[in-house]
Amino acid sequence: MQGLYAIVDTKLLAARGTDPIAYARALLEVRPAALQLRAKDVGAREMLAMLRALGSICRQMGVPLVTNDRADLAALAGCEAVHIGQEDLPYELVHRIAPQLSVGISTHNLAQLEKALAFKPRYVAYGPVFETTTKMNADPVVGLEGLRQASRVARAAGIPIVAIGGITLARVHELVELADACAVIGDLYLPGASLADVTERARAFQVAFGGPHRVAEARP
């Protein structure tokens, strides 16, 4: 996993009057490292329908589809992975419910990170690196130094690390040596932007984050 970890947040899109499937298509044009559906404001049936639609498109584009929180819906929709946070179902239960799913885990301090790495997940997310407005009651900011420490631990374990929290195009260059991917919500879709603008911004994140050689050089 490397580059842009693009998040389709249905709450943000609803506020802008934007169709989630059309928005996802705009992001998938640049073939990001992964596409996550974050749909905390919709019912299970609607979320499952979205996942099935997105799954078909993601498979065509060769991009892993990740479901936020709902391992049961991820399994029903045939998703590749599920992302869990510290307050979601624990890894052991997710693995029992849907052993075919890869799992990504959000972590916010080194103790959580080390516990997550013991499960050998597909990836770990770490942050918030910067101040964020897209998550209520966000954990304390870890900063670049916190991410640097987490990166050493994750890479020693051979697990990709995804930087999360407040990441903007203006600051993404600060992360390319510290993480394998960067998760972005708000800065992909600026106020007044068109879907074509979203595609170009997603492409800019990919380019700014660097090619595979950058990650290889950064690894200890």
Q: What is the mean pLDDT of the chain?
A: 92
CA distances from 141 to 86, 124, 138, 145 (A): 16, 17, 8, 11
Res 218: pLDDT:
34
Residue 37: DSSP 8-state: E
Distances 23 to 1, 32, 214 between C-alpha atoms, Å: 21, 13, 28
Question: Which run of H or of E encompasses 162?
Answer: strand 161-163
pLDDT at 34: 96
Q: Is the pLDDT of residue 211 over 60?
A: no
pLDDT digits 0-9 by tens, 86-136 = 999 999 999 998 999 999 999 999 999 999 999 999 999 999 999 877 666
| pLDDT band, residue 2 (cuts 50/70/90) | confident
All structural domains of the chain: 3-218 (3.20.20.70)
Q: Report the distance separating Cα 113 and Cα 134, nearest Å.
A: 22
Rounded to an integer, what distance in angstroms lies between the CA atom of residue 166 and that of residue 127? 9
Q: What is residue 69's predicted lDDT score, i.e. its pLDDT? A: 92
Answer whether 67's CB lies under 8 Å from 34's CB.
Answer: no
Local structure of 126: helix, strand or coil: strand
Phi, psi of 16 (to 5 degrees): -95, -5
Structure-derived torsion over alpha carbons of residues 182, 199, 36, 15, reported in degrees to the nearest 10: 110
The whole-number pLDDT of residue 192 equals 95
> Do the Cβ atoms of 53 and 21 come closer than 8 Å?
yes
**Paired tokens of 118:** 């013991």
| pLDDT tens by residue, 129-170 | 998 776 666 689 999 999 999 999 999 999 999 999 999 999
pLDDT digits (tens, 9 = 90+) for 20-55: 999 999 999 999 999 999 999 999 999 999 999 999
pLDDT category at 207 given cuts 50, 70, 90 is confident
